[in-house]
Every structure is written in structure tokens, then in C-alpha cells.
Structure 1
Amino acid sequence: MKFFALPLLLVGFLAAGQSNAAAGSSHLLCYYDGSSFAREGLSKLTLSELEPALQFCTHLVYGYAGINPSSNKLVSTNEKLDLDLGSSLFRSVTGLKKKYPALKVLLGVGFDKDVAEEDSSKYLTLLESSNARIPFINSAHSLVKTYGFDGLDLGWQFPKNKPKKVHSGIGSFWKGFKKIFTGDHIVDEKAEEHKEEFTALVRELRNAFRPDGYLLGVSVLPNVNSSLFYDVPALINNLDFVNLHAYDFQTPVRNPEVADYPNPIYELNERNPEFNINYQVQYWLNNHAPAAKINVGIPTFGRVWKLTKDSGLTGLPPVADADNVGPAGLQTQTAGFYSWPEVCAKLPNQANQHLKGADGPLRKVGDPTKRFGSYAYRSADDKGENGLWVGYEDPDTAAIKAAFVKSRGLGGVALVDLSFDDFRGSCTGGEKYPILRAIKFGL
């Protein structure tokens, strides 16, 4: 017995070492919205408060930069707040690598933060002209090099899918299935051209970045159709990673009359089959994207609907007869949106257990199936008021998604955004960044 114990013990240690090595190789990209530096009150995230997160992140994506439509150059979207170039926050952020030398710091481009006029299509206009792409590429290279970034993460603003209704009848379901890609409306008449042009832009950026070894990634934004705008086989060899921001499939802005799971892992009954993480991941795998290059986006926030008397009492989604966006949270001050600390404060706790009306706790409903996510709700009262429904991410659901990523052999997770995690530890007895920690340990 003793003779065999030592070899078996060594095998166990070797297996554990391989497991740890595999876990350590997973990417954990952490987004940090620079505008959170200028928020007021408890939602303000400073660099000193950011630092505890960096022991868990392999990459930090600082945001955001956008396109100047008159020059086609890449510029900071925070210049009006005098954050980046005025007070050198760019350098302060990249300077964190001195303390965390393994950390890669990327500049996030576009996303939904580079907001312009409603009729603006500057991201598409830039693609359509090779002459316009040149100043963009040159300025991008200059920004990265001047401020010490390790590369770019392109969150290109392609047109989003039109909202689709949640059907209850099986016939309606098959009707929706046949319109899986474009829905009831064409989102971009020139989608095929824009797909080819975006492929050219990525190839040209890669060529510009290659001598310096800069990283280049692409983020597929929520509700942007990969089949319309991304030539996966042609793109993937010029990218270091792809972040699939597979969340916000249902939101109170897009779906004001029906409250439903915003970020399910798997397909829900009688829903559009593409509105889940698994479908989005499988699409890229089926089109020859290496699993190791795919990162799954996990949000740190919830979406909030206002319920009416006609919404019923059970809260079981899809909840019909919702009334648009719920009221803004105390910290983030954005209608229809709660950060994780704002959600947590509304779940049953000692501080709210005896409160009523708009201050009363929500009823939490977990997800024993580990497929769709958690939600919490409060039915409308007799006057039709104070009804809320929140679909959200918490440490438990984030860990489940990290386990999904690991089980599929994917590259890792893209966490969106550190400023909406509980970075003060207000809900966890002082433990900061609980969602980030859950993801890290889940990987």
C-alpha cells in the first residue's frame, strides 16, 4: 500500500497542477468605463478603488475611444469631462502595469458609449472609404503607442437587430424561427458590403499593429447579428480574441411590454432560438473560430421593468403587460437599469424587511436549472403601483456562466463593467468585486 501511495499522490499533484495551469490560462477581460470616474456619490469608481480588481483580471479594457466624424481619427469619448487627455487618465490607467506587470491594458473603441446624433452612421461611413480608414488606423496606432496601451478592443457600432415579440403560440414560434437572422425588418441594406469592409479594416489594423506586437480584439455588441456583419473565417486569423457580448437580449427599452430573462445561457421555450449565449457561441464555433479565442461577455447589472396590475402575481417570465422601464436606481440614476449593488439592496435583508410600497423588498427567484438566470419582482399593489421585475446577474449566476465557458473550452470571460460590480463590498460584508471573484474562481 505504501509503495503505491506515493506515485498515486504524485499523479494527483500533477493532475491538480494541470488543472490550475488550465484555469490560469483563461482570459478574464475586465471593462472599466472611464466616465465612472466622474460619477457622483457611491457609483464613482476611482483608480484606487479599481486596483483590488486587478489581481483577478488578465486584461483591462479601458473605455472609451470613438470616431471624430470630421477627421475620422480615433479620439477619447471622455474629453468633454476632461478625464483622459486633460488629466492623463490614459497614462494613469496604463501605469497600473507597473504594479501588475502581467496585466494587459487595452483601449476600448466604440461600444454604445460613442453616442452621436440619432441619424449618425459614422462607423459605417468610415468603413465605406479606404481613405477614411487610413487616418483612423494611424491615429489608433498613435494613441496606443503614445499612452502605453497593449492594443485595441473594437466594439464596432453596427445596426442592431429589431426587437422581436415573445410569442406564446407554437405557430407564432415557428413564424419567428423562419426569421431568425433579420427579423421583420432589414437592419442594413448594405450589410454584405459592410461585412467585407470591416474585414478589410481589421486586416489593415493588424498589419499596422504587427511590428509592435499590439493586441487586436473584436467585441460583438448586444443584439448585433454576427451573420450579417462578421465574416468569421476571414476575420479570425487577424484577431487575438472575440468578445461575445451575449446579454441584453430582452430589455425594457427594446421590449417595453414584456419582462423576460435578459441574459439566458440556453434557449427558452417559445422564444427566438438565437437569443441566448449558447447559440451565439455555437455560431462562431461553427464558422471555424477557435474556442480559445472566444470570450463570453457577462454583465454586472440588471434590467428593470415596471409591472402593472395586469402583469399578474407570479412574476414568472415572460411577464406580459409590463409598462416600460422601471425607476432609476439611487446610485446609477439610469431608468430601467440597476447595478448589482442596487439589485442586492432591493433583495430581502434586515434593512428592508419591514418596509412597504416602493421601498419594500423584491421577491427573489433563483435558477435551479442553471440555464436562464435569476430574477426578482414585486407585484403591483391594488392601485397598480410599485410593481417591478428585475432580470439580473449575481455572483451565483456569473459563476454558472464561468463554468459554462470552462466546460466548452472557451478562451474566457469579458466582464462588463467593473463599475457596476459591488466594488465597495456593501452587499457582501466588505468583500469587494463579488461577481468578478465568482467568475475568476469559476474559471
Structure 2
Amino acid sequence: MKKRNTLLLSMTQTSIIEINCLNNKPAMKLFALLPMLLGFLAIGQSNAAVGTTHLLCYYDGDSFIREGLSKLTLNDLEPAMQFCTHLIYGYAGINPSSNKLVSTNEKRDLDLGSSLFRSVTGLKKKYPALKVLLSVGGDRDAPEEENSKYLTLLESSNARIPFINSAHSLVKTYGFDGLDLAWQFPKNKPKKVHGGIGSFWKGFKKIFTGNHIVDEKSEEHKEEFTALVRELKNAFRPDGYILGLSVLPNVNSSLFYDVPALINNVDYVNLHAYDFQTPVRNPEVADFTAPIYELNERNPEFNVNYQVQYWLNNHAPASKINVGVATYGRAWKITKDSGLTGLPPVAETDNVGPAGLQTQIAGFYSWPEVCAKLPNQANQHLKGADGPLRKVGDPTKRFGSYAYRSADDKGENGLWVSYEDPDTAALKAAYVKSKGLGGIALVDLSYDDFRGGCTGNEKYPILRAIKYKL
């Protein structure tokens, strides 16, 4: 009998290929099989990468008590769970008297023991791989001036103890898998978009005026937040609970997050890299709200790539970073002085656009509300405030889409909207893949087209586009 040499190559965690090489021509047979082996290896690595990509889906409990078409019930929510790896339910808040973590709507969540908390975590019975987390803050906890209760809690180790104990208790009692810290730190001061001369003058002024101080005690709060995260993780570790961070829009990471000290005590970081420009923060100039890359003559930090690179450069593992993608648009009123082209940045805007029919929030449109304003059979002959917007795509795949309607001869009915749609969301998922990042954090399921009204009955089109690209 001829002697055999056996070569074992592990292709994935569950499959092994065995190659038997006879002594007469082992090298020739091995090299003949090499292209096939490399192909199997590539497939195995690709599948492993897909298996570790996360899609974290936010669900704002306030959507459960909305009226009309924007009301998202648990029955409406369930079809999304086949795509989400994590469901982040919000939002809990802080009781400033006791420093305990509490529901921000106790009537909604805890009334008579019929808890929406339990209903949400109960989704794991049908989707056992799903992780459900409770989020605290998220800019929804009735912020006081400069979010003082969130900063005050950090400043006292005694105040942190009841917060940590109550957080652990809420997570355990209602069957959550962990906690998402969407801490309400002070926001950056809005910055204007300048042209060449404006940029020069702005830099010249800084020599005399300095930068706006967001938080005079930011270094102390950074250290104290690091301590809170460390103490929370220690409390969660015996039960294996997840602890994640959500960096909210326009919060300066360099001021409040000690990345090297934090990163080993958190399971993920969601960078909410959108709303860089909004009609509330920037009422006089309309611009892209969430570009992937830096635009000309803009602030270099107002884009997804800058935010991601900051965390990477400060030694955060790429696998822990998730890019936040919004499912809505921001709308400005534009005037006769705004011009006719719609090309951003659009000057001489007049604050927020009118509220949408479903969400009823001035200057804010869910994706189905945006979709309904784009050209379609229902609005093609309408005029004035009901007339369709002109959609402008992004052939560069770097900045995003926008749509607009120039002001009429009376200076009325002008509207400019920067928004996320399935195509732009897929581009951000492709960016995540190219960078080897952890995944996407979708904010919020209730603003996606969960009824399928705008896309031929296909529910959650933005969520689906991200999932397929990942």
C-alpha cells in the first residue's frame, strides 16, 4: 500500500477539507488543487465577515402612542426583526431626585404591569438570536438647561451608585440583554458654512475670540463618564449583559469620550453621524445633513468619515464601531433669494419647513413623507405647496440626495430637503464594509416606510437595502 500524506485545511469553523497526496506526485496534485482551495478559503472568509456584521435597529417607544399612519405597533415592528441583529428600545431617563434610571413614560411602559418593556423583549421568543437593549437618554429625556442632570450625576460617585443599581435591575427584571448609553452631553455650537473670504475672516476672528466653550468642565466629565462606564460594566459582567455607547449627533467625541480608556469596557459604539446641519441649528443655510465624506468649503468634521476616523485613530477596534443612519430628512423653507438651482449650500433660507402630515414635526420628514413629495402619479399635476419636489441624486456617491421646490413668484412654497433613502443608506453600508466596521445603527424603525406605502408594499425599504448590502 502506498503511503498517504494528509493535509487538513480549516475553511470555516464547521468545515474541513482533506487532501490526500500520493507519494508518486504529491506536489503536482497539490498545486493543481491550489486555485480551488484558495477559492474555498475566500468564500469562508467572506461568510465569516458577513456573520459578524451587525444591524442595530432603534425603536422609539413614543411611536407606539402616535396617532394615524405614523403609529408603529408591535405587529408593525415584528417584520423588521428578521433583518435586525439588535433591537435598541428607547428611551429611559434619569430621575434627578433619586438618580435612578426610570422610564420616560411610565404610563406607556409600566401601566398596571402590562409593560411594553416585556412586549419588546418578548420578541426574542420568536427571534432567539435577537439581542434587545434598553437605551437611556437619546435626546428624549426632557433635557434641562445644558443637560445638567446628566452631568450632575457624573460628578458624584454616590449618585452613580443608584443609577447603576437601577439600570441593572431594569435590565434584569424586563429581560433586556443590556444597556445602550445614549448620554445627553452638551452639543457643539452650530457653525455656519463660509465661502473663501468668510473662512478667512472666521479664522482671523478666532485669534481674538477663541472657540466657543461647550462645557467648561469637559475634562472632568470625560474622566467621570469613563468611571461610570467601567462601574456599569463591572456590574453587568457577571450576568453577561451588553453595554454599548451611542454618540449623539453634534456631540464632540474629543471632549467627552476617552476612547482608549472606554473601549475595552463597551461592546460597541454607535456613531450617530447625521444631523450635522438642520433647519433648527442652521436656519439661514440649507445643506447636506449627513454626507459620507467632507464637502468643499465646509467644516471638515461634519461628515461620517471624519467621525469614524477619529475613533479609529484613537485605537477603537473597527469591529466595535457602527455607523448611525437616519431614516428621515430635514426640511428648510427656501425664499426667492435662495436661487433656482437648489445646489447646496442654499443661502437665504427661512428656518424650518412645514410639518409632515404623519409625523407633525416642523422641518422633519420621515422617509415615506419624503417619498410622497417626490414626483409620482398622485402629485404630477399639483401646484403650490402640494407640488412635487425635484429630486437630485448623488453620482459621486459621497454626499447624499436632496430634493427641492423653488419659491414661486410670491416668494412662497419654496422647500429644500436633505434626506436618507434606500440607495444612500446602501452606500453607507458599503462604506462600512470597505472600512471593516462593525455594522450599521438604524435610527429609527418608525421613520422607515414600515407600511410599504411608497415602495410597492415592500415594508422597511431602508432597512432592507442596508441588510442586503451588508
TM-score (norm 1): 0.95
What is the CA distance between 1:117 and its match in structure 2? 3.7
Task: Give the whole-Å Cα distance in 2 for the aligned partners of 1:436 and 1:13.
Answer: 30
Q: Which residue of 2 aligns with 1:279?
A: 306
CA deviations 1:240-267 (Å, max 9, x no partner) are 0000001000000000000000000000
Question: Superposed, which structure 2 residues align to 1:419-434 within 5 Å?
Answer: 419-434=446-461
Q: Which residue of 2 aligns with 1:38?
A: 65
Task: Give the whole-Å Cα distance in 2 for the aligned partners of 1:388 and 1:31.
Answer: 28
Q: Secondary structure at 1:439's aligned position in 2?
A: helix
Question: Superposed, which structure 2 residues align to 1:204-219 within 5 Å?
Answer: 204-219=231-246
Task: Give the whole-Å Cα distance in 2 for the aligned partners of 1:198 and 1:187.
Answer: 16
Q: Which residue of 2 aligns with 1:379?
A: 406
Task: Give the whole-Å Cα distance in 2 for the aligned partners of 1:249 and 1:86.
Answer: 40
Whether the 8 Å contact between 1:60 and 1:105 is mirrored in structure 2 is yes
Task: Give the whole-Å Cα distance in 2 for the aligned partners of 1:378 and 1:5.
Answer: 63
Higher alpha-carbon deviation: 262-271 or 182-191: 182-191
Q: Which residue of 1 aligns with 2:392?
A: 365
Q: Which residue of 2 aligns with 1:142?
A: 169
Task: Give the whole-Å Cα distance in 2 for the aligned partners of 1:307 and 1:68.
Answer: 41
Q: 2:432 aligns with which of 372, 395, 405?
A: 405
- Structure 1 pair 268–146 and aligned structure 2 pair: CA distance change class (3 A): same
Q: Secondary structure at 1:302's aligned position in 2?
A: strand
Whether the 8 Å contact between 1:161 and 1:183 is mirrored in structure 2 is no
Whether the 8 Å contact between 1:247 and 1:277 is mirrored in structure 2 is yes
Question: Superposed, which structure 2 residues align to 1:261-410 within 5 Å?
Answer: 261-410=288-437
Question: Superposed, which structure 2 residues align to 1:159-170 within 5 Å?
Answer: 159-169=186-196
Q: 2:92 aligns with which of 65, 87, 92?
A: 65
Aligned-pair identity in percent equals 87
Task: Give the whole-Å Cα distance in 2 for the aligned partners of 1:132 and 1:176.
Answer: 41
Q: Which residue of 2 aligns with 1:25?
A: 52
Higher alpha-carbon deviation: 84-93 or 352-361: 84-93
CA deviations 1:37-94 (Å, max 9, x no partner) are 0000100001111111111110000001000001000001121445677531101110
- Structure 1 pair 227–85 and aligned structure 2 pair: CA distance change class (3 A): farther
- Structure 1 pair 268–283 and aligned structure 2 pair: CA distance change class (3 A): same
Whether the 8 Å contact between 1:310 and 1:321 is mirrored in structure 2 is yes
Q: How many aligned residue pairs are there? A: 439
- Structure 1 pair 21–255 and aligned structure 2 pair: CA distance change class (3 A): same
Task: Give the whole-Å Cα distance in 2 for the aligned partners of 1:177 and 1:86.
Answer: 60
TM-score (norm 2): 0.90
What is the CA distance between 1:405 and its match in structure 2? 0.5
What is the CA distance between 1:24 and its match in structure 2? 2.2
Higher alpha-carbon deviation: 307-316 or 85-94: 85-94
Q: Which residue of 2 aligns with 1:226?
A: 253
Work out whether 1:103 is the aligned partner of 2:103: no
- The structure with the larger Rg is 2
What is the CA distance between 1:25 and its match in structure 2? 1.1
What is the CA distance between 1:10 and its match in structure 2? 6.3
Whether the 8 Å contact between 1:170 and 1:270 is mirrored in structure 2 is no
Task: Give the whole-Å Cα distance in 1 for the aligned partners of 2:445 and 2:343.
Answer: 30
Q: Which residue of 1 aligns with 2:222?
A: 195
Whether the 8 Å contact between 1:304 and 1:390 is mirrored in structure 2 is yes
Amino acid in structure 1 at the alignment position of 2:76: E
Work out whether 1:417 is the aligned partner of 2:440: no
Task: Give the whole-Å Cα distance in 1 for the aligned partners of 2:215 and 2:113.
Answer: 37
Task: Give the whole-Å Cα distance in 2 for the aligned partners of 1:237 and 1:157.
Answer: 22
Coordinate RMSD, CA, aligned: 2.0
Whether the 8 Å contact between 1:252 and 1:303 is mirrored in structure 2 is yes
Q: Which residue of 1 aligns with 2:15?
A: none
Gaps of 5+ in 2: 1-29
Q: Which residue of 2 aligns with 1:127?
A: 154
Q: Which residue of 2 aligns with 1:74?
A: 101
Gaps of 5+ in 1: none
Task: Give the whole-Å Cα distance in 1 for the aligned partners of 2:342 and 2:146.
Answer: 37
Q: Which residue of 1 aligns with 2:11?
A: none
Task: Give the whole-Å Cα distance in 1 for the aligned partners of 2:364 and 2:200.
Answer: 29
What is the CA distance between 1:19 and its match in structure 2? 1.6
Task: Give the whole-Å Cα distance in 2 for the aligned partners of 1:164 and 1:433.
Answer: 34
Task: Give the whole-Å Cα distance in 2 for the aligned partners of 1:84 and 1:423.
Answer: 26
Task: Give the whole-Å Cα distance in 2 for the aligned partners of 1:160 and 1:45.
Answer: 29
Whether the 8 Å contact between 1:78 and 1:84 is mirrored in structure 2 is no
Bigger RCO (CA 8 Å, 6+ sep): 1
Task: Give the whole-Å Cα distance in 2 for the aligned partners of 1:387 and 1:418.
Answer: 29
